[in-house]
């Protein structure tokens, strides 16, 4: 290996999922960056939580083309890579919702190219603290070791869900359904209550059906909204302008108007949503805290069900299971769930007021990752907040960052060389879960580094 000039910067990235991997790939292309260290506590480099899912029915929730590539201009890179590998996405639109591990394979392939240059170290380790050390950042590891770098990027991703309120703890109530083997003890004749009706809940219901579950599965969420069905992409001929809108009411009005206009012109409503999706960060940042809270309270569930959509064949399966009596979707909440020797006696209150008793063998919390960082016991997040290196984001969501993803300390000042990207920045950007959004954030960081001459 040739030694690198000492002026080149060393970047440490905490988290080796899709965000950390994209960070390594994008930053490695900047001329002033020499070494990169990628840390992941689970050793799931290139995959993280979403793209290490092992089954072929764990599929990406958008057509492959929308996963894009790595750079701004290579929007077909993932599809081209699939084709080159022989995994051609079929002629059917729904065939292009490929298994999630294929996207993990794609990222691992890109990572391997940097690895081959000798500039990248992938290290299975848990970061427990990050602190300023002169002009550098010192990352302390659970092992007792430490790493010093010129720049650090936190890509700590999806946090496990918190226990769901009202449920008496028991081995038959599973809070983190993504833990390896979490569903293995569920027998085909068990009754299962799935809390949540979003993307995670749908994934788990499909898993249960493939495991041969025979009893009716119940899905429960406050509004009982399943994700809507996706359609083939249509270019938006007349994008709605969201930027002047500063209220939730204004947004609803504009979106409804736009959808009416588009539908009258024969375009699907999904076109309006996909256009707005590209503007969500700017829209969120333009809202007052009160309007952000109003959005979270009233519109979030509707937005998510329109934004995260289902592959057409998945939507058909869900409909079929509902009409066969294998699946029911309830709008309501849990009043109580008392542990019994065989599961829980749950009392549900349906939207509208009526009550339902459900003797269930399993309760699966599928409400998705915990977003409120005041409820998270993670040592790294705890030490950043306690030491004043970071503060929570708007509405307690994630960690606060400036528009260039630089972490803000307790007083609100942005660190020079400490960044956060991905779901941890939800308070500032709100919608930063999809791979496409995360890539956009990272390209913004790269532009910022270039424009401020921090690299040359
Ligand atoms: C089940 C599921 C399915 C999804 N499907 C899609 C999809 O189809 N398309 C799409 O665009 N998006 C999808 N998403 C959104 C997804 O969140 C992003 O696409 C992306 O995977 C987020 O990557 P990440 O690296 O930020 O997070 P993660 O995948 O959560 O990775 C974070 C990594 O950081 C590591 N880590 C955390 N803390 C530390 C620490 N202190 N020290 C060391 N390592 C640490 C973790 O071990 C983990 O491996 C899905 C999300 C989920 C949960």
Any atom of ligand 1 within 6 Å of the Cβ of 196: no
Any atom of ligand 1 within 6 Å of the Cβ of 255: no
> For atom 26 of ligand 1, which residue has the closest CA?
157
Burial bucket for residue 8 (CB in 10 Å: 0-12, 13-18, 19+): middle
Q: Kindly report the pTM of this predicted structure.
A: 0.94
* CA nearest to 190, candidates 218, 166, 170, 167: 218
CA distance 301 to 170: 28
C-alpha triplet 10, 14, 16: angle, nearest 5°: 105
Any atom of ligand 1 within 6 Å of the Cβ of 384: no
Which H or E element spans position 384?
helix 379-386
Any atom of ligand 1 within 6 Å of the Cβ of 157: yes
Place domain 9-159+371-451 in its CATH homologous superfamily: FAD/NAD(P)-binding domain (3.50.50.60)
* CA nearest to 313, candidates 324, 305, 321: 321
**Domain extent listing, the chain:** 9-159+371-451, 173-228+309-365, 248-307
CA distance 370 to 198: 14
What pLDDT score does 232 carry? 83
> For atom 45 of ligand 1, which residue has the closest CA?
15
Place domain 173-228+309-365 in its CATH homologous superfamily: FAD/NAD(P)-binding domain (3.50.50.60)
Any atom of ligand 1 within 6 Å of the Cβ of 16: yes
Q: What six digits make up the tokens of 262?
A: 């588009």
Of ligand 1's listed atoms, the one at least distance from the Cα of 379 is: 41
What pLDDT score does 7 carry? 64
Sheet bearing 173-174, strands edge to edge: 173-174, 362-365, 192-195, 217-221, 327-340, 343-350, 355-360
Any atom of ligand 1 within 6 Å of the Cβ of 39: yes
CA distance 362 to 94: 32
Any atom of ligand 1 within 6 Å of the Cβ of 87: no
Any atom of ligand 1 within 6 Å of the Cβ of 20: yes
Among 16, 17, 383, 424, residue to substitute to test ligand 1 (most atoms within 8 Å of Cβ):
17
CA distance 106 to 316: 29
CA distance 268 to 262: 7
> For atom 27 of ligand 1, which residue has the closest CA?
157
Measured in Å, residue 49 CA sits from the centre of ligand 1 at: 5
Measured in Å, residue 194 CA sits from the centre of ligand 1 at: 22
> Which residues in the chain show pLDDT less than 50?
1-4
- Answer yes or no: same fold for 9-159+371-451 and 173-228+309-365: yes
What pLDDT score does 404 carry? 96
Measured in Å, residue 241 CA sits from the centre of ligand 1 at: 31
- Tokens 């764990």 correspond to 58
Of ligand 1's listed atoms, the one at least distance from the Cα of 125 is: 43
CA distance 39 to 321: 42
Measured in residues, the chain has a length of: 456
Any atom of ligand 1 within 6 Å of the Cβ of 41: yes
What pLDDT score does 3 carry? 46
User: pLDDT for 36-54, tens place per residue?
Assistant: 999 999 999 999 999 999 8
Of ligand 1's listed atoms, the one at least distance from the Cα of 369 is: 53
User: pLDDT for 174-226, tens place per residue?
Assistant: 999 999 999 999 999 999 999 999 999 999 999 999 999 999 999 999 999 99
Helix (H, G, I), strand (E, B) or coil at 338: strand
What pLDDT score does 36 carry? 97
Any atom of ligand 1 within 6 Å of the Cβ of 98: no
Q: Are 47 and 101 in contact (CB under 8 A)?
A: yes
Measured in Å, residue 8 CA sits from the centre of ligand 1 at: 29
């Amino acid at each position: 290996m040739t030694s690198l000039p000492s002026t080149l910067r060393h970047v440490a990235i905490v988290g080796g999922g899709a965000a950390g991997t994209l960070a390594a790939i994008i930053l490695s292309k900047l001329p002033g960056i020499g070494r990169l260290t990628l840390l992941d506590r689970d050793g799931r480099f290139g995959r993280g939580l979403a793209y290490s899912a092992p089954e072929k029915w764990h599929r990406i929730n958008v057509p492959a083309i929308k996963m894009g590539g790595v750079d701004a201009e290579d929007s077909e890179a993932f599809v081209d890579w699939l084709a080159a590998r022989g995994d051609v996405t079929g002629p059917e639109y729904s065939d292009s919702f490929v298994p999630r591990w294929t996207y993990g394979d794609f990222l691992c392939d890109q990572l391997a190219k940097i690895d081959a240059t000798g500039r990248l170290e992938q290290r299975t380790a848990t970061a427990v603290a990050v602190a300023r050390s002169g002009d550098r950042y010192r990352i302390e590891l659970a092992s007792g070791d430490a790493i010093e770098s010129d720049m650090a990027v936190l890509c700590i991703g999806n946090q496990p869900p918190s226990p769901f309120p009202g449920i008496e703890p028991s081995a038959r109530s599973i809070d983190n359904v993504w833990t390896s083997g979490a569903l293995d003890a569920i027998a085909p004749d068990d009754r299962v209550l799935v809390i949540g009706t979003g993307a995670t809940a749908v994934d788990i219901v499909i898993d249960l059906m493939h495991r041969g579950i025979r009893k009716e599965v119940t899905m429960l969420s406050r509004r009982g909204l399943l994700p809507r069905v996706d359609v083939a992409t249509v270019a938006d001929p007349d994008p709605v302008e969201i930027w002047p809108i500063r209220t939730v009411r204004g947004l609803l009005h504009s979106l409804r108007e736009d959808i009416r206009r588009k539908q009258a012109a024969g375009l699907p409503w999904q076109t309006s949503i996909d256009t707005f999706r590209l503007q969500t960060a700017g829209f969120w940042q333009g809202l007052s805290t009160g309007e952000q809270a109003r959005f979270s309270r009233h519109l979030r569930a509707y937005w998510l069900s329109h934004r995260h959509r289902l592959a057409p064949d998945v939507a058909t399966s869900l409909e079929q299971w509902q009409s066969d009596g294998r699946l029911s979707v309830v709008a309501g909440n849990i009043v109580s769930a008392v542990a019994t020797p065989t599961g829980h006696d749950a009392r549900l209150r349906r939207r509208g007021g009526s009550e339902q008793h459900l003797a269930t063998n399993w309760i699966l919390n599928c409400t998705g990752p915990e977003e409120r960082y005041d409820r998270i016991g993670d040592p790294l997040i705890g030490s950043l907040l306690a030491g004043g290196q970071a503060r929570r984001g708007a509405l307690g969501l994630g960690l606060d960052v400036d528009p260039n993803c630089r972490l803000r300390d307790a007083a609100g000042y942005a660190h020079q060389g400490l960044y956060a990207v991905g779901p941890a920045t939800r308070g500032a950007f709100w919608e930063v879960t999809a791979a496409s959004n995360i890539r956009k954030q990272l390209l913004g960081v790269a532009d910022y580094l270039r424009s401020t001459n921090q690299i040359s």
